[in-house]
Amino acid sequence: ETGVTQTPRHLVMGMTNKKSLKCEQHLGHNAMYWYKQSAKKPLELMFVYNFKEQTENNSVPSRFSPECPNSSHLFLHLHTLQPEDSALYLCASSQEFLAGGRFGELFFGEGSRLTVL
Amino acid sequence: GESVGLHLPTLSVQEGDNSIINCAYSNSASDYFIWYKQESGKGPQFIIDIRSNMDKRQGQRVTVLLNKTVKHLSLQIAATQPGDSAVYFCAEVSSGNTPLVFGKGTRLSVIA
């Protein structure tokens, strides 16, 4: 139990569906992240929120839309996805998003396994 | 959390032996390095970190070695146990407000 909870753990959706992934952290952290882990690539950073403000958008297609209503919750809204978007989506949190070491220790959730048909 | 289908370097080790997992990095500006462990069905977990002003750091049963000259990082696990079976990622951070960059990972299999 890392203190970061992701739901759903598994999601199957069609290309025209709209769905959302949810992440909640119980660690009192101020930074939250979405990573994508696919079969063909290493962990890819998608978005970073620091104190509810988006600080990183790593050239992610607009069919992925993040939302951070407060420091404890992070959503990833999905719309008109493609089969190549099938992957494990990992949420993480850290105390703050700062340079170097204080950024370093990320606490990950167990991921949401997404399959796009 | 498994990287199914990803062609990962694999290391097979007999239970009780020591394991050495290697990682090469390319950014000479990277000044902070972290090792993560990802067990099947789980997210990555922090193991140990090291700053560039050090060349060695020890934890419980794990040691990280940093060779800045050849941009090489290694993770040594002493007396490897079945519970150590996982994918191990190195990650680097360069100075400034930049996020972690993860390597591709190495799959460690422990043979009982």
Using the beta-carbon criterion (under 8 Å), do B99 and A56 form an inter-chain contact?
Answer: yes
Average pLDDT over residues A25-38: 92
CB atoms inside a 10 Å sphere around CB A36: 21
Dig out the tokens for A34 from the structure. Answer: 């979405």
Which pLDDT does position A103 carry in this prediction? 53
Percent of chain A with pLDDT over 90: 63
Q: How far is A16 from chain B (nearest CA, A)?
A: 26
| Smallest CA–CA distance from A47 into chain B, residue | B99
Using the beta-carbon criterion (under 8 Å), do A104 and B3 form an inter-chain contact?
Answer: no
Contact between residue A15 and residue A36 where contact means Cβ atoms under 8 Å apart? no
Which pLDDT does position B30 carry in this prediction? 84
For residue B95, give the 3-state DSSP assignment. Answer: coil
Indicate if the pLDDT at residue A98 is higher than 60.
Answer: no
Residues 6 or more apart in contact with residue A27 via CB below 8 angstroms: A3, A4, A93, A107
DSSP B59: -
Using the beta-carbon criterion (under 8 Å), do B89 and A45 form an inter-chain contact?
Answer: no
Residues 19-78 of B with CB under 8 A from A: 31-32, 34, 36, 41-46, 49, 51
Average pLDDT over residues A25-50: 89
Using the beta-carbon criterion (under 8 Å), do A104 and B49 form an inter-chain contact?
Answer: yes
Indicate if the pLDDT at residue B2 is higher than 70.
Answer: no
Contact between residue B89 and residue B105 where contact means Cβ atoms under 8 Å apart? yes
Alpha carbon distance A67, A86 (integer Å):
20
Alpha carbon distance B88, B104 (integer Å):
9
Which pLDDT does position A78 carry in this prediction? 96
Alpha helices per DSSP H over chain A? 101-104
Distances (CA, A) of A26 to A30, A72, A95, A112: 11, 7, 11, 18
Of A114 and A42, the one with more pLDDT: A114
Structure confidence at residue B3 as a pLDDT band (50, 70, 90) = very low
Which pLDDT does position A52 carry in this prediction? 80
Among B3, B51, B64, B94, the strongest candidate for a mutation testing the A interface, having the largest count of A CBs within 10 A, is: B3
Which pLDDT does position A68 carry in this prediction? 95
Alpha carbon distance A22, A72 (integer Å):
11
Structure confidence at residue A9 as a pLDDT band (50, 70, 90) = very high
Residues 6 or more apart in contact with residue B27 via CB below 8 angstroms: B92, B94, B101
Average pLDDT over residues A99-108: 63
The reply to whether B1 touches chain A by the CB within 8 Å rule is yes
